[in-house]
């Protein structure tokens, strides 16, 4: 009797999610209480949020960056951190001075928001994805550069372990906030798009450029561990080419699988076998 794929898919989605949880970018807290908390803060500061979103749109920046102010200060313009960061955007004196914002104006909502928009735009031109931008905004470009050098990679999901623990947690909070506002997929899609520029793996070893990756669609029935086994590549390497794919499969039931061009024909030839193994081994 052939297994019913419709009944098995939910199980496979859970197993796949558990297999790669923590290795890729995703929301770490999707609880109802977390979602309610973030939404409540936004709702309680509606006028400030509207001004921030308008200021971001004027600069051509995505509205989800309002979540950076959300996790930085809960939109409290009078807050000062233990490290001396001030205002809604938690500007340190050195960061503020870099963009012409005076120390006294750091808690001025209008001036600090305009400055934050300029800073975020500048960081995006450098890193080309919002996840790394959030990390750099928190710990500084110098710490990000050191982490990239230590990891031999410009990809956040590889170099993040070399960042300060506070920054890693900050990025997690940002992703959780974006989940609460329904914008997480946009952030992850942006990250996945940017990684196509250059993907590094190992400790500064081989490099795969944009033109060397091919893509194909897979559904949630595929087990990533089995894909790696059939293609005779390390699972970690397969996952480094596909950050966020577990979230995509879980949310949509389908996702885009990226592989080096020379491996794609092998995958397509073995696709039916891989799916069959995924289903069979997933229900043992």
More confident residue, 140 or 241: 140
Q: What is the pLDDT of residue 185?
A: 92
Domains of the chain, start order: 5-18+203-282 (no CATH), 31-195 (1.10.530.10)
| Of 125, 123, 91, 128, the residue nearest 108 (C-alpha) | 91
More confident residue, 67 or 22: 67
More confident residue, 283 or 12: 283
Residue 99 CA to residue 188 CA, distance in Å, equals 28
Q: What is the pLDDT of residue 212?
A: 63
pLDDT per residue as tens digits for the range 104-135: 999 999 999 999 999 999 999 889 899 999 99
* Whether pLDDT at 178 is above 90: yes
Q: What is the pLDDT of residue 47?
A: 97
Q: What is the mean pLDDT of residues 239-252?
A: 79
Residue 174 · residue 67 · CB < 8 Å: yes
| Of 93, 96, 44, 92, the residue nearest 70 (C-alpha) | 44
Q: What is the pLDDT of residue 7?
A: 47
More confident residue, 5 or 193: 193
* Whether pLDDT at 20 is above 70: no
């Amino acid at each position: 009797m052939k297994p019913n794929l419709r009944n098995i898919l939910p199980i496979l989605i859970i197993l796949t999610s558990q297999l790669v949880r923590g290795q890729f970018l995703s929301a770490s807290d999707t609880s109802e209480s977390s979602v309610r908390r973030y939404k409540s803060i936004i709702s309680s500061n509606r006028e400030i949020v509207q001004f921030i979103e308008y200021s971001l749109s004027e600069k051509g920046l995505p509205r989800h960056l309002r979540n950076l102010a959300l996790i930085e200060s809960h939109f409290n313009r009078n807050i000062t951190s233990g490290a001396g960061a001030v205002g809604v955007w938690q500007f340190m004196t050195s960061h503020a001075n870099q963009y012409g914002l005076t120390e006294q104006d750091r808690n001025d909502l209008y001036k600090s928001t305009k400055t934050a928009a300029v800073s975020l735009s500048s960081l995006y031109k450098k890193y080309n994805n919002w996840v790394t931008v959030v990390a750099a905004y928190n710990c500084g470009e110098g710490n990000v550069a050191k982490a990239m050098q230590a990891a031999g990679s410009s990809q956040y999901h590889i170099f993040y372990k070399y960042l300060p623990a506070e920054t890693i947690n900050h990025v997690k909070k940002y992703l959780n906030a974006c989940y609460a506002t329904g914008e997480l997929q946009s952030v992850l899609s942006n990250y996945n798009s940017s990684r196509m520029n250059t993907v590094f793996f190992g400790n500064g070893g081989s490099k795969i450029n944009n033109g060397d990756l091919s893509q194909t669609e897979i559904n949630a029935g595929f087990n990533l561990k089995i894909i790696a086994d059939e293609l005779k590549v390390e699972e970690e390497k397969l996952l480094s080419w596909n950050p966020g794919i577990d979230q995509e499969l879980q949310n949509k039931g389908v996702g885009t699988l990226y592989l080096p061009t020379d491996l794609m024909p092998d995958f397509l030839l073995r696709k039916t076998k891989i799916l069959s193994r995924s289903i069979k081994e997933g229900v043992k």
